[in-house]
Structure 1
């Protein structure tokens, strides 16, 4: 191959490399990382509104369940003679009307209202948990979309450079200045890059579909060209303290409070229920009318078979809710420890790539291009060094995206993770 041909190929490679330094998309139409999360958090999602509807239903029931039962009215005709069918024949014949009001044991009504309010609180905390999960999922989906778009742009630039080299090698082969092995090697790498582009296109579509579930048509906007600036998380002790306010913990805490109310209801069942009856009897024939008042109450004589068992069951349910909350907190602490370890390790690897790996890969590629132009390096060496740069750039991108996902996980676990 002539020196001129070598220099021409080198120029083509350099032109292809420069192509991937331009921004991903125009910023005015791009979708930002936190913008996507905000859109998802403020959207009218049926999955979230479901919990509001359930909570409002339970709060309405709280009012109804804490109200007295409706009074009952009884009317009747007593001691009516059937031989003459005259209401004045017997002095005990009466036209009666009676009113009965039932009262449940102790503070049962108030506790029933509190039970429904506690159940409503569970539904509202479930909404907060789902909302936090949605924001986490949207952030991860946005990062997947960004990763796919940025990777495709990097690979396309290198693909363009390889295609230029392959074209030059084809011309050199026709003139007898190159071997068919160089052409086959370039064609192989081109085919592999095209396959990677197809896979990335599929991943990008999947990520956009995931986003569309929560932000609708905004998912069709391309991601911004750069990752957001991620601040360092707070101290591990502060993050672990924040776990106690996680919505998943609040759900179990609200469940525990509901079981506490149910214990109160079980205790109230030891007290008697009672009712008041008031009646009036009208007698015909100028006779005096009758009035009556009565008090009815239950006698909990068989507490061992009913009330004791219900109280024991309620106390065990409270203990189960407490243990569930404690177990969940330990699981969250484990996830936080893993996420913090990933954050620090990914940061170390990113610094290594920034300071050494990526820079050295570029230096090696530039050196091989210079040697190739001077006739001191062969074509496969250029391919190897170019692929090494590609791998270094893609790995560096992987690390950036993985660290951003770890930041999103820390935010999901502990809320605001900023200093």
Structure 2
């Protein structure tokens, strides 16, 4: 029995060193994830994500279209042979109105309408740029979430492995007790059930790991082996300018205002000018002097009550809808922010409490180990708090991931100041 006791002491000391080494490794990983070149490289790869590039291209498209919004439409050039006799279509000297003509005309849409169109395109460009920034923030949130969940899975695997080791120690001790005549045979079935449950949890963790690996490959085309960065949630005072969703809704409301301005411009007249030159030939009894014509055309909104004004009323209703949508997005963002802040603070508070419970379990395990090594007590009394401590490590890993993900959710909602 003294040989077995010495072997258990050696294994116990090794487990203490292993637990200290694991804690040190987690601490180093957490500090390494604060702001590393490797993580910054991943962020740079997010900027090349197809969705981000599509938003960038959309912004450039609207900018290029805005450059031509104030331009006039193409002029029209007309060549004509006018008022020729049917029996001699090549003669221009038989009839007085026969002529060759050159006509140039230019439509001039009203300036207010063209300016409203340009403002609309510029607003769309700003909206696309804002959506690009929001999408990039959402992609980074997903990246941090994937890294945090993979860290949780790694810590959970280590805790489960620790439990399997403890079960093996307890099983070996029980075999020694059974060899000494103790009736402990039924305990082995209980240990097998615990092993089976741990196996089930390992299978579930493996499935989760594969899903998060797929997410990382979609985001950065790689599965980096690194911890998440140390994320601190930013604060928000509730102003619409500080969050993406209400700010985007405000841009959409500006688009609706531009739509109203365009419909108002439709009530203003459009213009057109035309110049025509007719070359004539002299004939019997008339002089063939050339003719010149100038035209000015002004559109008159004569049917405005049945055409432009209903469209203007519809644009004003669209503005009301955009305003209501903006108010709703602001409310939703406040709810999402408050929810994520509550999740973050709850996870942080739970981690503090779990740390205290872990310390108490360590003290209990150490006290039971001293009694066991002194010959007063059983190894089972030592392993029971050790198993609880390993189970607690699973919960701590879960709460660490929740805290990190909640902070990332908060930051993804808020507009980061442009450098």
TM class by shorter chain equals 0.7 to 0.9
Residue 71 of structure 2 aligns to a residue whose secondary structure is coil
The answer to whether the 8 Å contact 1:19/1:157 transfers is: no
Note the C-alpha offset of 1:176: 4.4
- The equivalent of 1:70 in structure 2 is 74
Give matches, 1:116-127, under 5 Å: 116-127=121-132
- 1:80 paired residue number: 84
CA distance in 2, matches of 1:308, 1:118: 24
TM-score, normalisation: structure 2: 0.87
Q: How does 1:229-248 map to 2 (within 5 A)?
A: 229=230, 231=232, 234=235, 239-241=236-238, 244-248=241-245
CA contact (8 A) 1:147 1:401 kept: yes
Task: Note the 1:185-334 alignment, pairs <5 A.
Answer: 185-217=190-222, 219-221=223-225, 223-224=226-227, 229=230, 231=232, 234=235, 239-241=236-238, 244-285=241-282, 287-334=288-335
Distance 1:42-1:54 versus aligned 2 partners, 3 A rule? same
**In 2, Cα distance between equivalents of 1:264 and 1:415:** 29
Q: Tell me, which stretches of 5 or more residues in structure 2 are unaligned?
A: none
Instruction: Name the structure 2 match of 1:345.
Output: 346
2:33 and 2:230 in contact (8 A); partners too = no
For residue 306 of structure 2, give the secondary structure of its aligned residue in structure 1: coil
Maintained 8 Å contact 2:82/2:100: yes
SS in 1 for 2:278: strand
Q: What is the aligned partner in structure 1 of residue 185 from structure 2?
A: 180
My pick for the range that moved more, 285-294 or 128-137, is 285-294
CA offset at residue 78 of structure 1?
1.4
Task: Find the partner of 1:58 among 49, 55, 62.
Answer: 62
Secondary structure in structure 2 of the residue aligned to 1:309? helix
Q: How much does 1:13 deviate? A: 4.4
| Contact residue 243 and residue 413 of structure 1 kept, 8 A | no
Q: How far off its partner does 1:17 sit? A: 4.9
Are 2:69 and 2:114, in contact at CA under 8 Å, matched by a contact in 1?
yes
- 1:79 is displaced (CA, Å) by 1.4
Pick from 147, 167, 171 the counterpart of residue 166 of structure 1.
171
2:221 and 2:128 map into 1 onto residues whose CA distance is 26
How much has 1:328 moved relative to structure 2?
A: 0.6
Shift in Å, 1:160: 2.2
Pick aligned residue for 1:94 from 99, 102, 121: 99
In 2, distance between residues paired with 1:323 and 1:97? 56
Q: 2:136 maps to which residue?
A: 131
1:336-385 superposed Cα distances (whole Å, 9 cap, x missing partner): 2222233333333222222x311111122223333344454345544432
Please state whether the residue corresponding to 1:22 is helix, strand or coil: helix
The Cα of 1:416 is off from its aligned counterpart by: 6.1
Size of the aligned set, in residue pairs, is 406
Q: CA deviation at 1:254?
A: 1.6
Report deviation, 1:192. 2.6
Q: 1:300 Cα shift?
A: 0.8
Aligned-partner SS, 1:90: coil
- CA RMSD, 1 decimal: 2.8
CA drift at 1:156:
1.7
Q: Is the CA contact (8 Å cut-off) linking 2:164 and 2:195 kept in structure 1?
A: yes
8 A contact 1:66–1:111 mirrored in 2:
no
Deviation at 1:108, TM superposition (A): 1.5
**Residues 1:121 and 1:230: Cα distance change in structure 2 (over 3 Å):** closer
TM-score, normalization by structure 1: 0.87
Distance 2:88 2:243 in 1: 80
